[in-house]
């Protein structure tokens, strides 16, 4: 078993790696995926392809800008306050090891969201996920329930009522009487 200082050294070594190649590779993968989706959307009816084109075309532009700035060595989108926030992060959370831990926790929550939507569908998955996330963040049961109902209700109103789009019902099909 590694001691805490060994783990911290390992995380510091990871933080020192030049990530430009990985950022460029990630941008290329996402760009390829978005271009494939746009290619597929080109065969849709004009009404059906409106949303994929409205989202996909600006995303292609942003990915090309990210790729160009990364390859030019400018390191992507660094805002004027990034140095200030980096210093605050180091002072408040103990450095890169804590940053990696927080990233792992965030990725775990993202995986939980994907699993909840896959199993329960968009409405019940969002409801359960938001309730769990608010409770894990220290919120009360009442606040968690209100936030979950607001999230699921917002999804229902936006997609089912406004856009007339059928939301995914989940692998388990437990949406009950929901439309």
Residues 5-39 pLDDT 10s: 565 666 566 556 566 777 888 889 999 999 999 99
pTM, two decimals, is 0.48
pLDDT at 94: 56
Number of structural domains (the chain) is 2
Q: How far apart are the first and last CA of the chain?
A: 52
Q: What is the mean pLDDT of the segment spanning 142-153? A: 91
Residues 150-167 pLDDT 10s: 999 988 888 888 877 778
**Residues 61 and 14 grouped into a single domain:** yes
Residues 85-114 pLDDT 10s: 555 555 555 556 666 777 788 788 889 888
Q: Is residue 179 part of a domain?
A: no
Which of the listed residues 37, 59, 78 is the one where a domain comes to its end? 78
Alpha carbon of 141 to those of 44, 114, 147, 149, 177: distances in Å? 44, 23, 10, 12, 25
Q: Which of 19, 17, 18, 59 is nearest to 37 (CA)?
A: 59
Q: Is residue 115 part of a domain?
A: yes
Which of the listed residues 54, 78, 102 is the one where a domain comes to its end? 78
Domain with 61, as residue range(s), is 1-78
Q: What is the Cα–Cα distance from 11 to 17, expressed in whole angstroms?
A: 10
Which of the listed residues 23, 51, 78 is the one where a domain comes to its end? 78
Q: What is the mean pLDDT of the segment spanning 43-64? A: 87
């Amino acid at each position: 078993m590694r001691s805490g200082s060994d783990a911290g050294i390992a995380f510091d070594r990871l933080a020192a790696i030049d990530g430009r190649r990985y950022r460029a590779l990630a941008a290329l993968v996402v760009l390829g995926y978005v271009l494939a989706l746009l290619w597929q959307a080109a065969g849709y009816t004009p009404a059906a392809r409106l949303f994929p084109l409205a989202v996909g075309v600006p995303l292609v532009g942003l990915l090309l800008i990210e790729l160009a700035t990364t390859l030019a060595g400018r390191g992507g989108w660094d805002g004027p306050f990034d140095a200030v926030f980096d210093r605050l992060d180091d002072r408040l959370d103990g450095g890169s090891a804590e940053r990696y831990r927080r990233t792992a926790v965030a990725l775990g929550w993202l995986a939980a969201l994907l699993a909840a939507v896959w199993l329960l569908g968009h409405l019940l998955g969002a409801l359960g996920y938001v309730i769990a996330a608010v409770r894990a963040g220290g919120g009360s049961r009442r606040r968690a329930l209100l936030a979950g109902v607001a999230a699921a209700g917002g999804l229902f109103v936006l997609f089912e009522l406004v856009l007339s789009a059928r939301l995914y019902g989940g692998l388990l099909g437990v949406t009950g009487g929901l439309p």
